Amino acid sequence: MSAAGAGPESREGHREPDRTVDGALRTDTADTADTADTADTARTADTARTAGLTARVTTRRGGFTLDVAVQVAPGEVVAVLGPNGSGKSTLLGTLAGLFDPESATVTLADRVLTDTAAGVAVPVHRRRVGLLSQQALLFPHLTARENVAFGPRCAGQGRRAAGTVADRWLAEMGVAELADRRPSELSGGQAQRVAIARALAVEPDLLLLDEPFAALDVDAAPAVRALLRRVVRDSVVGGQTVLLVTHDVLDAVVLADRLVVLADGDVVEQGPTAEVLARPRSGFAARIAGLDLVTGTAGAGGLHASDGTLVSGAASEPLDHGEPAVAVFAPRSVAVHRERPAGSPRNVVPVRLAAMEPQGEVVRLRAGASERGPAWVDGLAADVTPAAIAELGVEPGDELWFAVKATEVAVHPMRRRRR
Ligand SMILES: Nc1ncnc2c1ncn2[C@@H]1O[C@H](COP(=O)(O)OP(=O)(O)OP(=O)(O)O)[C@@H](O)[C@H]1O
């Protein structure tokens, strides 16, 4: 990923990056907070989040042009996916105010942040946009508490009040005991928790997450991931509007209401997460959607699909019965039969073969709904060898059975929509 999170280096089109540490803050003193900041701060969170984000952005970086329109409803989480160099970080950086767009209108809640035609460009620290990047990018000379208190100080809060806010967010992120340490005394995972606390302490109307787990090692990533899931999904900050750049389809499934897929600076696909992954139209979405997904609600023994069918599987984390969830399994773990298989505990559903797609050394059999079974099988994939295809003698339109062992199915919580 690129360094839209405001690295120290000067980059083309960058808006004075040496004065910013993330999308919400800048390194000069809290005295710079002006009356507009104070007025912003005085608004209630409810008022601030009523209208979500509407952005129409054209940004050039070298020979590259990002040209996209994005709308995010209040409280909605949208995952931005796309190949390397497709413009994901450029989009987030433009929304954060780090890059000067060629032409753009960006409206957040009830405020116009950017309107190039009208000459409006609200500065980074006044946008109420939090940007969390791969690297924590904490101020090295400040303690964890001072790092987190910096945003509230910039917004006009006194030292003591800002310190109280910082302590609350550090505790929320499980790092209260590290408040007096400097970044050099923190592990990568600890620093990223402090960075999350710092991004949230300014109570941003929009939270931009640019692959926040990518730089963490395998030991630290799961805990930070779980923490951010809690932040994004379970209303830790309440009704947070989020744009999340990720390469991990499970993050998108678990955290996002909708996906936006970029390629070469354009939006090539967007829609509800489960829909895009079930019926990917872009090559990239098809590749990341290399998993079978069934949406429903968590229940004893697995997932209850929309028609009540139990998809047996194991929960990836504790789930409440009835909470929105998704059952995930790999197409290669799906066995295909002409007759209904008997025996061992497994999930067996009738399908009508919709398509056969060569996928390297296997053939992907794409299911359509059969009159004999549930509609949710539409789009499920089974990867089988050409030899097995020859043995089964299948062709599109055939009535078949897909079977997958319960041990191959993981049930994950699905992003919960707030009302
Ligand atoms: N400072 C810069 N100057 C000129 N071109 C740049 C600069 N930074 C990025 N670009 C170009 O802009 C395009 C989009 O980059 P961007 O970082 O937004 O992509 P991305 O989708 O975030 O990629 P990744 O997944 O690798 O992080 C790329 O073609 C890149 O080469």
pLDDT, one tens digit per residue, over 34-52 is 333 333 333 334 444 456 8
Pocket of ligand 1 (CB under 6 A): 1-2, 11-12, 61-62, 64, 82, 84-90
- CA proximity to 211, closest of 259, 258, 252, 247: 247
Instruction: Calculate mean pLDDT across residues 299-309.
Output: 92
- Mean of the pLDDT values across residues 265-271? 90
Whole-angstrom distance, CA of residue 372 vs CA of residue 399: 9
Residue 242 has pLDDT above 50, yes or no: yes
The domain defined by 290-413 folds into OB fold (Dihydrolipoamide Acetyltransferase, E2P) (2.40.50)
Bin 169: left if φ > 0, else alpha if -120 < ψ < 50, else beta. alpha
Q: 84 alpha carbon to ligand 1 midpoint, in Å?
A: 8
For the stretch 260-288, what's the b/e string if a residue is b when 16 or more beta carbons lie within 10 angstroms of its beta carbon? bbbbebebbbbbebbebbbebebebbbeb
- ipTM score: 0.96
Residue 240 binned pLDDT confidence (cut-offs 50, 70, 90)? confident
Which among 9, 60, 64 is the best mutation to test ligand 1's pocket, defined by most ligand atoms within 8 Å of the CB?
Answer: 64
Closest CA to 347 of 299, 379, 386, 304: 304
Angle of helix 159-172 relative to helix 188-201, nearest 10 degrees, comes to: 130
Identify any residues that bridge with 260 across adjacent strands, giving them in sequence order. 80, 270
The pLDDT tens digits for 353-379 are: 999 988 888 999 999 999 999 998 988
Token pair, residue 196, equals: 């999350």
Report whether pLDDT(351) > 50: yes
CATH code of domain 17-283: 3.40.50.300
Residue with tokens 């910013």: 20
Q: Order of strands, edge to edge, in the sheet holding 292-299?
A: 310-312, 302-305, 292-299, 324-329, 410-413, 314-315
333 CB-near residues (< 8 Å, 6+ apart) = 404, 405, 408
Which of the four pLDDT bands, split at 50, 70 and 90, describes residue 416?
low
| 404 CA from centroid of ligand 1 (Å) | 41
Residue of the CA atom closest to atom 25 of ligand 1: 84
* Residues β-bridged to residue 382: 365
Q: What is the mean pLDDT of the chain?
A: 81
Alpha-carbon distance of 121 to 138, in angstroms, equals 25
Q: Which residues contact 312 (CB under 8 A, 6 or more apart)?
A: 301, 302, 345, 346, 347, 406, 409
Task: Give the DSSP letter string of 102-158.
Answer: SEEEEEETTEEEEEGGGTEE--GGGS-EEEE-SS----TTS-HHHHHHHHHHHTT--
Q: What is the pLDDT of residue 154?
A: 85
- Indicate which residue's Cα is closest to atom 7 of ligand 1: 61
Give the CB-side neighbour count of residue 107, counting CA atoms within 13 A. 10
Q: Whose CA is nearest to atom 17 of ligand 1?
A: 2
Q: Are 293 and 280 in contact (CB under 8 A)?
A: no
pLDDT (tens digit per residue) in 6-24: 332 233 333 333 323 333 3
- 142-168 tens-digit pLDDT: 999 999 999 899 888 899 999 999 999
Contacts made by residues 342-347, CB under 8 angstroms, sequence distance 24+ = 344/405, 345/312, 345/405, 345/406, 346/312, 346/403, 346/404, 346/405, 346/406, 347/311, 347/312, 347/313, 347/403, 347/404, 347/405, 347/406, 347/409
Cα 91 to middle of ligand 1, angstroms: 10
| Bridge partners, residue 296, by sequence | 305, 325
Alpha carbon of 282 to ligand 1 centroid (Å) = 20
Which amino acid is it at 256? A
Per-residue pLDDT at 28: 30
Average the pLDDT over 94-120 and give the result: 94
What six digits make up the tokens of 265?
């600076």
Atom of ligand 1 minimally distant from the CA of 82: 21
Task: From 9, 90, 131, 133, give the residue whose CB has the most ligand 1 atoms within 8 Å, as the site to mutate.
Answer: 90
CA of 62 to the centre of ligand 1 (A): 9
Res. 279 pLDDT band, cuts 50 70 90:
low
For the chain, the structural domain boundaries read 17-283, 290-413
Q: How close is the Cα of 211 to the center of ligand 1, in Å?
A: 14
Distance in angstroms (rounded) separating the CA atoms of residues 170 and 164: 10
The residue whose CA is least distant from atom 29 of ligand 1 is 85
pLDDT above 80: residue 29: no
Q: Which atom of ligand 1 is nearest to the CA of 247?
A: 25
Taking residues 110-133, what's their average pLDDT? Answer: 90
Place of tokens 């559903």: 349
Choose among 363, 353, 337: nearest CA to 398. Answer: 353
Predicted pLDDT at 400: 96
Instruction: Determine how many CB atoms are found less than 10 A away from the CB of residue 157.
Output: 20
Task: Pick the atom of ligand 1 nearest to 90's CA.
Answer: 18
The candidate with the shortest Cα–Cα distance to 115, out of 58, 195, 64, 196, is 58
